[in-house]
Amino acid sequence: MRSTADRLRVALGMLAAVTVFGTIGYLAFGFTLLDALYQTVTTITTVGFRELAEFGPGLKIFTIVLIVVGVSTVLYSFTLIAQLVVEGHLGEFVGRRRMDRQINKLTGHTIVCGWGRVGEAVAHDLDLAGHQVVVIDQSADRVADLEFPTIVGDATRDDTLRAAGIERARALIAALDSDADNLFVTLSGRDLVPDLFIVARARADESIPKLEHAGADRVVNPQELGAARMASFVASPNVAEFIDVVMHDRSLEFRMREFVIPADSPVAGKTLRQANLREESGALVLALRAPGGDFTTNPTGDTRLEPDHVIIAVGTDEDFDRLTRFATPHAGK
């Protein structure tokens, strides 16, 4: 069943259509554009100051039709507006329209489906990394005061994903509580945007191959990751603490990040020794990943940097800013 706000959107669309219909009709009877619009508005709002021309039979019949259609549409719209005011949802409706416009302007954002503990942590980490995020959740109460653009709806539905701008999104994260729901989200996302990067959450191990088969690029079991992290604090506490600092400690700027070498980069074709990235940027290169997906860990100075290589490095935000300016043509200009 449609909400009052949804019905008001339809009513306002009908009102606009009636206004256009009336204006075009009066234009056809020889009115100027301004007179045609004026006559339409005064007719459908029942104000009716005066007729701007001598009405013949054809014009009278057209005006009767316009009155019947237009007045009922106006009254219906005003009734819905009054209902929204009485119910206290008018501000919510206006805010929803503003948020929809904000989402429509986004490009390259990440859609997070499900505002639970996992979805919340993912959204905040992405935000800290500088990524734009749109959150989808069925509960209006859970997303009422979020700092992110939100869509209240069923993430397994194509129209909900489209409302979140999936055609323009960079990635989709299925973090719903149910593996079955995450499977549907993955299928829908892959069907709508075949090249979209999709990360899915899995609760059960048997769901992992199903989600991968459905089109998820990565499948994560948070319980297993949490268990492995807890075990690492016992087995290799210093290594675990170092990884926490560079990946999870939000109080420090020291981070592990990746950088893709553009085709026209001045370092493309050079060895690491020739590129001198450590001295030029301050970032420490830990690994390289070739376009084919193979990793080179602890690369030597003779390792050659090629276009589309991914550099995995450790450093501060300032280090990565310098790396971007150094290795990207015209960066910052």
| Per-residue pLDDT tens over the stretch 24-69 | 998 988 888 998 899 888 888 877 666 777 788 888 888 888 888 8
| CATH number for position 79 | 1.10.287.70
Percent of the chain with pLDDT over 70: 88
Question: Is there a domain that residue 265 lies in?
Answer: yes
- pLDDT tens-digit profile of 123-146? 998 988 789 999 999 988 888 888
Torsional class of 325: left (φ above 0), alpha (ψ -120 to 50), beta (otherwise): alpha
Please tell me whether the overall predicted TM-score, pTM, comes out greater than 0.85 for this model.
no
Are 166 and 172 in contact by the 8 Å Cβ rule? The answer is yes
Asked whether residue 250 carries a pLDDT value surpassing 80, the answer given is no
Name the residue range of residue 271's domain.
253-327
Same domain assignment for residues 205 and 116? yes
Question: Is there a domain that residue 211 lies in?
Answer: yes
Q: Is 85 helix (H, G, I), strand (E, B) or coil?
A: helix
Asked whether residue 307 carries a pLDDT value surpassing 80, the answer given is yes
Res 1: pLDDT:
44
Same domain assignment for residues 287 and 215? no
Question: Is there a domain that residue 247 lies in?
Answer: no
> What's the CA gap between 301 and 306, in Å, rounded?
14
Which of these ranges, 36-40, 238-242, 313-317, has the smallest mean pLDDT?
Answer: 238-242
Query: To the nearest whole number, what is the mean pLDDT of the chain?
Result: 84
Looking at the structure of the chain, the number of domains it has is 3
> What's the CA gap between 319 and 283, in Å, rounded?
5
Of the candidates 118, 166, 116, 167, the one whose C-alpha atom is nearest the C-alpha of residue 138 is 116
Running DSSP on this structure, what letter comes out for residue 283?
P
Rounded to the nearest 10 degrees, the angle between the axes of helix 33-44 and helix 57-87 is 60
Quick one: pLDDT band at residue 333, thresholds 50, 70, 90?
A: very low
Select from 202, 220, 238 the last residue of a domain.
220
Res 253: pLDDT:
64
- pLDDT tens-digit profile of 150-182? 888 899 999 999 999 999 999 999 999 999 999
| CATH number for position 317 | 3.30.70.1450
| CATH number for position 204 | 3.40.50.720
Q: Which one of 180-184, 268-272, 329-333 scores highest in mean pLDDT?
A: 180-184
Question: Is there a domain that residue 97 lies in?
Answer: no
